[in-house]
Structure 1
Amino acid sequence: MTALQLKLVATDTAAGSFSGLAAVFNEVDRQNDSIRPGAFAATLAKWAARGYGIPLLRQHDQTLPIGSIYAAKETPDGLLVQGRIATSTAAGAEAHALALAGALSMSIGYTTPPGSTRVIDGVRYLSAVDLHEVSAVSVPAAAGAKFTEIKSAADCRTIREYEALVRDALGLSSRTAKAVASKTYSLVNPRDGGDPQRDVAPETLTKALAMLAASNPHSR
């Protein structure tokens, strides 16, 4: 059985939904590997047929899932992914906090099909990979891959968007998320039209939401 290869890349993660490059093309990483355009075509077709659900792990630990990737595609720059961190779990909440502090990176775990590698001057060029997972990691290897768009409470333009974020982040029913959102939306989007209260620490807001959710016996 071929050992799983782990590729580390850099990011600035935040909570909930996110998008960004999980791998970049034509960049030689610290392990002297370079992924070529088109390398993900076959593996993404397989994941698409399964309905995606690519595991999002912490430090490539298969026993520590923190969310999932629900969409992925190749762009001229590399592998663009969209996913969601399960911030209602302990591991996800910790990853979220570290990501907000800029302490995490993205990484991919994969194997290479036979005949898909070519070594030139010590650099291994990969024309195809079998993607197994994406991870949030501590040490980057390729600086070009990063999270580019993260959905946080302060980014929600409407209370409906905020309800969806609360629902996904805390694992609530739609009904309970609506009730929690109605009590807390003004914290991040004042109704007087002022700027969102970005000085409210995300971890503080998350704890407040969790307390509100826990106070409702029908929250889950």
Structure 2
Amino acid sequence: MKYKTKRVHFELKDFDQETGIFTGYAAVFSNVDAGGDLIQPGAFTKTLKNNKDRIKICWQHDPYSPIGKPLEMREDKKGLFVKGQISDTSLGKDVKILMKDGVINELSIGYDTVKKEWKDGVRHLKELKLYEFSPVTWAMNDEALITSVKANDDIKEVLTKTIELLDRFLEKTEVKEQDEVGKMLESVERLGKAVEQRIEDSKGQKI
């Protein structure tokens, strides 16, 4: 089995100890990675049809450290889209904390090459047998993205920056427009307080 690492960026929503669910791309098509390989569209078609039930989520490619299962795997125009669920084991909990903190933010696939073709020094991977995909420390490719929505703390940061921008805009705007800007500012501030309350209420429930 070989490993093909793909960089991902985790944006987490409702990624808690009960669900452990994330979505994104474990591989992208038509992009030459640091190893000189290019995965062609359709490379996963056969393995997803014939081998889907045996594909696992592992920790750092260790077959003795499975941490979850795929809920959905499919090819689209971009690449291999995956939806996975990390199990609530002691290792799974550690992985979820690392993902939430941004320490682990990359994915990698474990596979066998079934069909390949060399063109201009690039190995075109035409068919792969997929065994697993893993959260890993480092990856080769910078185009595969995790696409779930950011956590409450990130929303809070966005709202804080919005309030700062509205404050600066309020100082420079015309008098006749200040009332409208002021109303916008009050609305954002109320929303910020609601988010803070939600974060406080969810402590101990979500990671």
TM superposition score normalised by structure 1: 0.65
In the superposition, relative to structure 1, how do residues 124 and 131 fare at CA in structure 2: closer, same or farther (>3 Å)?
same
- Alignment gaps of 5+ in structure 2: 154-192
Give CA-to-partner distance per residue, 1:153-195, whole Å, 9 cap, x none: 89xxxxxxxxxxxxxxxxxxxxxxxxxxxxxxxxxxxxxx933
Superposition pairs of residues 43-192 of structure 1, within 5 angstroms: 43-48=47-52, 52=53, 54-86=55-87, 88-104=88-104, 105-113=106-114, 116-149=115-148
Q: How many residues align?
A: 160
Residue 33 (structure 2) aligns with: 29
CA shift, 1:200, in A, is 4.9
Higher helix share: 2
Contact between 1:33 and 1:123, CA under 8 Å: does it hold in 2? yes
Query: For 1:41 and 1:127, how far apart are their aligned partners in 2?
Result: 10
Contact between 1:18 and 1:150, CA under 8 Å: does it hold in 2? no
- Alignment gaps of 5+ in structure 1: 155-192, 208-220
Larger Rg: 2
SS of the equivalent of 2:95 reads helix
Residue 172 (structure 2) aligns with: none
In the superposition, relative to structure 1, how do residues 38 and 63 fare at CA in structure 2: closer, same or farther (>3 Å)?
same
CA shift, 1:12, in A, is 3.3
Query: Post-superposition, which runs of at least 4 consecutive aligned residues in structure 1 deviate over 2 A?
Result: 11-15, 150-154, 193-207
Give CA-to-partner distance per residue, 1:111-142, whole Å, 9 cap, x none: 011xx111122210011000000101010111
TM superposition score normalised by structure 2: 0.69
In the superposition, relative to structure 1, how do residues 150 and 33 fare at CA in structure 2: closer, same or farther (>3 Å)?
same
SS of the equivalent of 1:195 reads helix
CA shift, 1:93, in A, is 1.1
Supply the AA of the counterpart residue of 1:73: R
Contact between 1:56 and 1:69, CA under 8 Å: does it hold in 2? yes
CA RMSD, Structure 1 to Structure 2 (Å): 2.7
